[in-house]
Amino acid sequence: MLAGKRIVLGVTGGIAAYKSVEVCRRLVDAGAHVIPVMTAGAEHFLGATTLSALASEPVQRSLWNEASPIPHTRLGQQADLIVIAPATARLLAAYAAGLSTDLLTNTLLATRAPVVVCPAMHTEMWEHPAVQDNLAVLRRRGVHVVEPDSGRLAGGDVGAGRLASPERIVAACAAALDGGPMAGWRVVVSAGGTREPIDAVRVIANRSSGKQGYAIAAEAARRGAAVTLVSTVDLPGPAGVTIERVETAAQMHEAMARLAADADVVVMAAAVADFRPVAVAAGKWKKDQGAPPIVLEPTPDILAALGAAKPAGQTLVGFAAETDDVVANAEGKLRRKHLDLIVANDVSRPGVGFQHDTNAVTLIRAGGRVDTVALATKERIAGCVLDTVCELRADSSHPTPTPAEPSAEQGASS
């Protein structure tokens, strides 16, 4: 996949710049034509002679001193891929804001090739909201982000922010050139809270914003999947995602059943109303008529129906928005509804779930493995969910539960 590809290797000013030497060597060994571009800051940590000796061309550093009068345009147009390793907080901010301050940032703006960024910085910087917001912007634009590892950092500190290993970085480059790790997959995602009419004006609803479902759909598309999003909310559609608008649980049930039949992955992230009025008043119920006589009936259990009808080879993901006994309740739902993975969150916690831009979840697999993801942006949570889905689909031995009788519970996220 890398053989014969023109790859621009951007190196920015962080202590991890020395690892770019090994990235360069591995790319060249794989047959790629590597053109290194160093920022002024990178030269404080790595000599240009080293990369020039190992790469396919000498290091380029300036907009003004190169042989080409417009080096950024030439690099951007001719590149099959651009990878930035390490990517500092400064580079991420400039790229997200569209700033063209040097050869590397100009090249990033002058390309239509896939871009892979590999952040590396101290834990406090990595976790700063500004950095995470910039990464969220880049992900929405289709940039591939190789998240850093945890480990020993400069100055003897230990934590998240360590540059990903050269093996991971090169693998990410190959995946980006291959169309993404989910290329060829058909993915269906639901998002938002359903609205059940009482009369022509009023509805029974919930506080789901749909942001988590949209983040999952955007991330799946970024990874190369063909994505259909069944949505009840009017948010801007993620790039490359087909949106089907619905409002009620019955409409979502019909859409999900139809679309899931041919899907490789189904993520039921929507918060579906458990009950709806038996009768809907014609027109608007007037206040002087007194309180309307609302009799409720259960809505279709969409997630249970999807689990019962799940075709062989499909991966089904549910959500459980809970306020107590989160793991126990989610595990029960996982078993009853024939799920491969359930994403549970405690929506009573600050910053978690409904209406927030952040979330904290517990990922529970059918085989019993439990992973927790601390409070993070919903974009990052989406990445963790899909990382788990990819692992499950790569592991043909992961257990598939036996379908159970449908229950009245519904899938829910935020």
What residues are labeled active site?
206
Residue 233 CA to residue 64 CA, distance in Å, equals 49
Residue type, 156: G
Residue type, 201: V
Tell me which H or E stretch contains 136: helix 129-140
Residue 72 CA to residue 109 CA, distance in Å, equals 9
Residue 406 CA to residue 408 CA, distance in Å, equals 7
Residue 188 CA to residue 143 CA, distance in Å, equals 21
Nearest by Cα to 190 from 217, 222, 170, 155: 217
Sign of CA dihedral 172, 176, 177, 182: positive
Residue 217 CA to residue 227 CA, distance in Å, equals 6
The phi, psi pair for 199, rounded to 5°, reads -145, -160
Residue partners of 193: CB distance under 8 A and separation at least 6: 205, 206, 207, 208, 210, 232, 233, 270, 271, 272, 273
Residue partners of 359: CB distance under 8 A and separation at least 6: 212, 345, 351, 352, 353, 375, 376, 377, 378, 381, 414
In the numeric block, which tokens belong to residue 27? 């790319």
Residue type, 18: Y
The phi, psi pair for 298, rounded to 5°, reads -65, 145
- What are the CA-CA distances from residue 177 to residues 82, 139, 251 (Å)? 10, 16, 38
Strands 315-322 and 115-119: unpaired
b/e burial code for range 66-81 (CB count within 10 A of at least 16 → b) = beeeebbebbbeebbb
Residue type, 333: K
